[in-house]
Amino acid sequence: MEEKNQQLMDTLIQADEASQAKSRFLARMSHEIRTPMNAIVGLTEIAKKHLTDPNRIEQYLSKIDSASHVLLNIINDVLDMSAIKNNKLKIAHEKFDMKKIINSITAIYYNQCKQKGIKLEVISACLTHEILIGDSLRVNQIILNLISNASKFTPAGGKIRFEITEKAYKKQTIFIRIIVSDTGIGMTPEMLTRLFNTFEQENANTAQQYGGSGLGLSIVKNLVELMHGSISVESKKGIGSMFTVDLPFSIPEIDELSSSKSINDLRVLVVDNDCASRIYMTSILDRINVQYDIATTTEQTVKMLSTADKAGKHYDICFIDCKASFADSITLTKNIRKIYDNKALVIILSAYDISEIGENMETSGADIFLQKPLFQSTVFNMLISLTDKNYIKGTFHKESKESYDFHGKKVLLAEDNALNTEIAIELLNSVNLNVDHAENGQIAVDKFLTAPIGTYDIILMDIQMPVMNGYQATKTIRSSSHPNAKSIPIFAMTADAFTENVAEALSAGMNGHIAKPIDTHILYRTLCNCLRQA
């Protein structure tokens, strides 16, 4: 009887602890959700009072956009943790470009860290394989969570270092190491023992001062384990923290970058006094078989240029790190122009936002501005374009912004919510798409079946609709006798964003899935890929 009573008592205690944990979670979530919601509602109300001031409206909209993304991240964290706990989260196995992930994250956090007075250093050392096979979304999520965490707990004047390296390569499998370190507040040894538990923060003051749901690191650990990787952390209170993640990826069977004779014949001078940066740059040049020399001081640079010029073997390209502490890069560039005139192309390397120094550099006579972190493919493609004279003097070398124009194309939009309809039509019209709207799945089916051949180029289908939902509408269209029934692209555009929802959309006969809230980059890229093939 005593044993039975003890079991009942233990069960009661566990139930009480679970209830308290749930209450704490709901209270924290209420606070975390209401904080960005307060910004969105408040700024919207303020914006209404300044409709005639475009500058203030733009500022308010920018802040509303930031608060919206914070809110979306909180919701995604809760949903991801729910999916993990219920074993519903699946890891994709698709080809992706690690370079794009790193560049995207650098672009996001550089300005955020700058505004907070934090130095962000990004290093992609020895990353020879950029195209990998794995889950790009989850890799992005892991890195974003770690850098976001570092940014949150690092005060002004501090430093965050994000480093990604290639550790091993065995039988078409590569092991990538991701290190995020900071000079933030650090953690106690006791906190390290429970760091990756759900909803954990050091204390109530930490939650109040720095915010956060306590889900981010728990999600990171679960994602890393689902990807068959490992994660570790070192931290000292008042000193900072360092997270190390090792992840395995498959390597696609693709041809390596191959040099051309025009590149092999180039003579390059690398001007950089930072040892690690210099070693990485020269390792890239070694791999693509480019001849180079190294200069580490202003005097050495000028001397080497003069000597080479007198010998009739002038340098074709000079790479100059604009953050080099040994000289003013602008003065050095002007000196190169005095010695070489226009015989050599001067490429300025910047660790941060090139726009900060671009105007001064352009007046100094520099030809190209290349933003770090550097990648082998970026340098290779740059040199190819330079040897082909395929560049514009004084321009920045960044990923080109995507622009879209779908003039002459028509989309059938199935959406029952009036506000969502207005947003979708505006987004589609802005890229010159002709939109025909259907209020539910049945109307969408009727419009498609009665339309002449080739009327619609694509169908965007909401899922949760009255009369007939998106899955039923798609199955009805696919099984019909309409000449375009089997070939017309149909994409789910829905707030049902779990992995099983994507699978169900594909099973119903759809070509793909676009989650709400709509990411315009994903929407337009999907439309472009689809309509280009049509």
CATH of the domain at 338: 3.40.50.2300
Check whether residue 362 and residue 304 sit in a common domain: yes
Contact of 510 with 461, CB cutoff 8 Å: yes
Check whether residue 118 and residue 245 sit in a common domain: yes
122: in domain: yes
Does residue 400 have a pLDDT over 50? no
**Percentage of the chain surpassing pLDDT 70?**
81
Q: How far apart are CA 324 and CA 329, in angstroms?
A: 7
Number of domains in the chain: 4
Check whether residue 134 and residue 159 sit in a common domain: yes
Check whether residue 136 and residue 233 sit in a common domain: yes
Query: pLDDT tens-digit profile of 211-241?
Result: 555 677 888 898 999 999 999 999 999 999 9
11: in domain: no
HEC sequence for 91-152 = CCCEEEEHHHHHHHHHHHHHHHHHHHCCEEEEECCCCCCCEEEECHHHHHHHHHHHHHHHHH
481: in domain: yes
Least confident interval from 146-150, 233-237, 245-249, 377-381: 377-381
Give pLDDT, residue 398. Answer: 42
Distances (CA, A) of 358 to 327, 329, 362: 17, 12, 6
Give the residue from 42, 63, 85 where a domain finishes.
85
Give the residue from 352, 373, 397 where a domain finishes.
397
Check whether residue 203 and residue 322 sit in a common domain: no
Does residue 392 have a pLDDT over 50? no
485: in domain: yes
Check whether residue 231 and residue 102 sit in a common domain: yes
Mean pLDDT of 321-340: 68
Query: pLDDT tens-digit profile of 10-35?
Result: 777 777 766 665 666 666 666 567 76
pTM above 0.85, yes or no: no
Check whether residue 246 and residue 298 sit in a common domain: no
State phi, psi for 494 to the nearest 5 degrees: -145, 160
Q: What is the DSSP letter of 432?
A: T
Check whether residue 387 and residue 414 sit in a common domain: no
Check whether residue 331 and residue 372 sit in a common domain: yes
Least confident interval from 71-85, 318-332, 461-475, 506-520: 318-332
439: in domain: yes
6: in domain: no
Does residue 362 have a pLDDT over 60? no
Q: Within 13 Å, how many C-alpha atoms sit on residue 212's CB side?
A: 25
Query: pLDDT tens-digit profile of 136-156?
Result: 888 988 998 899 889 888 999
Check whether residue 335 and residue 437 sit in a common domain: no
3-state secondary structure of 397: strand
Mean pLDDT of 356-363: 56
Q: How far apart are CA 438 and CA 445, in angstroms?
A: 9
Could you list the residue range(s) of the whole structural domain that residue 78 is in? Answer: 22-85
Check whether residue 353 and residue 416 sit in a common domain: no
370: in domain: yes
Does residue 399 have a pLDDT over 50? no
Check whether residue 295 and residue 357 sit in a common domain: yes
Q: How far apart are CA 534 and CA 530, in angstroms?
A: 7
Q: Residues near 280 by Cβ (< 8 Å), separated by ≥ 6?
A: 123, 124, 125, 126, 374
State phi, psi for 315 to the nearest 5 degrees: -75, 140
Give the residue from 56, 85, 114 where a domain finishes.
85
Q: Within 13 Å, how many C-alpha atoms sit on residue 263's CB side?
A: 19
418: in domain: yes
Could you tell me which residue, 485 or 188, shows the higher pLDDT?
485
In this structure, what token pair is assigned to residue 457? 């180029």
